[in-house]
Structure 1
Amino acid sequence: MTDASKLDHLYHGLKSSLMKEVLREAPLAPSAFLEQARQEENLDCLVTTAAQQATDNNTQATTYSNNS
């Protein structure tokens, strides 16, 4: 299987939330594609975790101030 075929297959299986950023880098090899996709997935997880923690902190602060 050629690298182009592998890349095509990888693109078709990529989560839509990662597509834009991976396409922006335009990896030419499957290994580069996988590395870029992993980096984007890790960033998405960090952003989601940070946003969830901020929401949790705001909820706790609101609950605390309402109970005071």
Structure 2
Amino acid sequence: LQSSSCGNPGVPPKGVLYGTRFDVGDKIRYSCVTGYILDGHPQLTCIANSVNTASWDFPVPICR
């Protein structure tokens, strides 16, 4: 079964997710609510990492 979707990676506490598509080639962005600092990568890209799987290129960031 071939999968071309990474799925919704979720939103960290105090975080905001921008993006509604989670397929290979799609990009999503994160930011934090006022008063919190993003720790990690603000943009994730869904990549095909083998013949039949897809995953995000970085872990979901956190808000501190």
**Per the shorter chain, which TM-score range?**
under 0.3
The structure richer in strand per residue is 2
The structure richer in helix per residue is 1
TM-score of the two chains, using structure 2 as the length reference: 0.27
Larger Rg: 1
TM-score of the two chains, using structure 1 as the length reference: 0.26
- Kindly indicate whether structure 1 or structure 2 has the higher relative contact order, using CA contacts under 8 Å at least 6 residues apart: 2
